Chains A and B, each alone.
Chain A
Amino acid sequence: MRTATLALLLAVGSTAAAQEDPDLQKVQELQKKVHAVVDKTKAAYVFIGGGSGVCIDADGWILTNHHVAGGAQNWKVRFTGGKQYDAALVGFHPADDVALLKVKNGKDLPHIDLGDSDAMRVGDPVIAIGNPFALGNGNWEPTITHGIVSALHVYLDNPGYKDAVQTDAQINPGNSGGPLINMDGKVIGINGRIDVKRFLSRVNTGIGYAIPSNQIRRFLPHFKAGGRAFGGYMDGATVGECGDDRYENTGEFGEGVFIAGLTEETPAAKAGLTTGDIITDIEGHRPYNLNRFHGIVGSWPAGSVVKVKYKRFDAAKKEWAAKEAKVLLGDPEKLRAQEANVGNLFLGFTPSYDFDDLGVEVDEVTEKGPAAKAGLKSGDVIKKVDGGRVRDWKEFKAALNGKKAGQKLKLTVSRDDKELELEIVPEQRKVEGMPEEEGE
Chain B
Amino acid sequence: MIALLAAVLCQDDPTSAMARVMQKLRDRVGRSVVALEVVRDKDPEGAAGSGPSGAHNDYYNRPEGPCTGTIWTEDGLILTSAFNVSGDVRRITVRTSDGKSYEGKRLGWDATRDIALVKIEAKDLPVLPKAKMDAVRQGDFVAIVGRAPDPDMATINQGIVSALDRMKSTAVQTDAELNYGNVGGPLVNLLGELVGVTCQIKPRTNWGQSGGVGFACKHAEIDKALPELKASRNTERGKEPWTGITPAEGAEGVEGVVVAQVAAESPAEEGGMQEGDVIVEFEGKKVKNWDEMRTMLAGKKVGDVVKLKVMRKDPKTGKDAAKDVKVKLTDNPN
Residue A375 is within 8 A (CB to CB) of chain B in the complex: no
Question: In the bound complex, do residue A6 and residue B206 qualify as a contact, i.e. CB atoms below 8 Å apart?
Answer: no
- Closest approach, in angstroms, between the C-beta of A99 and any C-beta of chain B? 13
Tell me the interface secondary structure of chain A in the complex: mixed
Q: A196-238: which have CB < 8 Å to B?
A: 198, 200-204, 206
CA distance A135 to B334 in the complex (A): 10
From A71, A147, A399, A402, name the one whose CB has the most chain B CB atoms within 10 angstroms. Answer: A71
Question: In the bound complex, do residue A170 and residue B246 qualify as a contact, i.e. CB atoms below 8 Å apart?
Answer: no
CA distance A202 to B141 in the complex (A): 26
Question: In the bound complex, do residue A27 and residue B261 qualify as a contact, i.e. CB atoms below 8 Å apart?
Answer: no
Residue B212 is within 8 A (CB to CB) of chain A in the complex: yes
Number of interface residues of B (CB under 8 A): 61
Residue B284 is within 8 A (CB to CB) of chain A in the complex: no
B235-265 Cβ-contact flags toward A at 8 Å (1 or 0): 0000000000011111111100010110011
Question: In the bound complex, do residue A2 and residue B8 qualify as a contact, i.e. CB atoms below 8 Å apart?
Answer: yes
Residue A303 is within 8 A (CB to CB) of chain B in the complex: no
Residue B320 is within 8 A (CB to CB) of chain A in the complex: yes
Question: In the bound complex, do residue A198 and residue B208 qualify as a contact, i.e. CB atoms below 8 Å apart?
Answer: yes
From A137-145, A154-162, A276-284, A418-426, give the one contacting chain B.
Answer: A137-145
From B79-87, B120-128, B160-168, B295-303, give the one contacting chain A.
Answer: B160-168
Other-chain contact of B248, A22, A49, A395 (Cβ < 8 Å) = A49
Residue B316 is within 8 A (CB to CB) of chain A in the complex: yes
From A35-43, A245-253, A311-319, A331-339, give the one contacting chain B.
Answer: A35-43
Residue A26 is within 8 A (CB to CB) of chain B in the complex: yes
Residue A132 is within 8 A (CB to CB) of chain B in the complex: yes
Residue B133 is within 8 A (CB to CB) of chain A in the complex: no
Residue B47 is within 8 A (CB to CB) of chain A in the complex: no
Question: In the bound complex, do residue B10 and residue A23 qualify as a contact, i.e. CB atoms below 8 Å apart?
Answer: yes
Residue B112 is within 8 A (CB to CB) of chain A in the complex: no
Question: In the bound complex, do residue B261 and residue A173 qualify as a contact, i.e. CB atoms below 8 Å apart?
Answer: yes
Known interface pairs A6-B11, A27-B18; A145-B162 also in contact (CB < 8 Å): yes
CA distance A402 to B16 in the complex (A): 62
Residue B137 is within 8 A (CB to CB) of chain A in the complex: yes
CA distance A201 to B165 in the complex (A): 25
Question: In the bound complex, do residue A27 and residue B264 qualify as a contact, i.e. CB atoms below 8 Å apart?
Answer: no
Residue B153 is within 8 A (CB to CB) of chain A in the complex: no
Other-chain contact of B165, A30, A141, A399, A400 (Cβ < 8 Å) = A141
From A74-82, A113-121, A261-269, give the one contacting chain B.
Answer: A74-82
Residue B44 is within 8 A (CB to CB) of chain A in the complex: no
Known interface pairs A6-B11, A23-B17, A49-B251; A136-B163 also in contact (CB < 8 Å): yes
A397-440 Cβ-contact flags toward B at 8 Å (1 or 0): 11111100000000000000000000000000000000000000
Other-chain contact of A203, B7, B213, B317, B334 (Cβ < 8 Å) = B213
A interface residues (Cβ-Cβ under 8 A, vs B): 2-3, 6, 15, 17, 21-31, 34-35, 37-38, 42, 47-51, 71-78, 127, 132-137, 139, 141-147, 169-174, 198, 200-204, 206, 357-358, 388-389, 391, 395, 397-402
A-B contact pairs, 10 of them (CB 8 A): A3-B5, A21-B24, A27-B17, A78-B250, A170-B212, A171-B212, A173-B246, A203-B210, A204-B211, A388-B319
Given pairs A23-B24, A49-B248, A76-B250, 15 additional interface contacts (CB within 8 A) = A22-B11, A23-B10, A23-B16, A23-B18, A50-B246, A74-B253, A134-B260, A143-B175, A145-B175, A147-B175, A201-B264, A203-B212, A206-B212, A401-B317, A402-B317
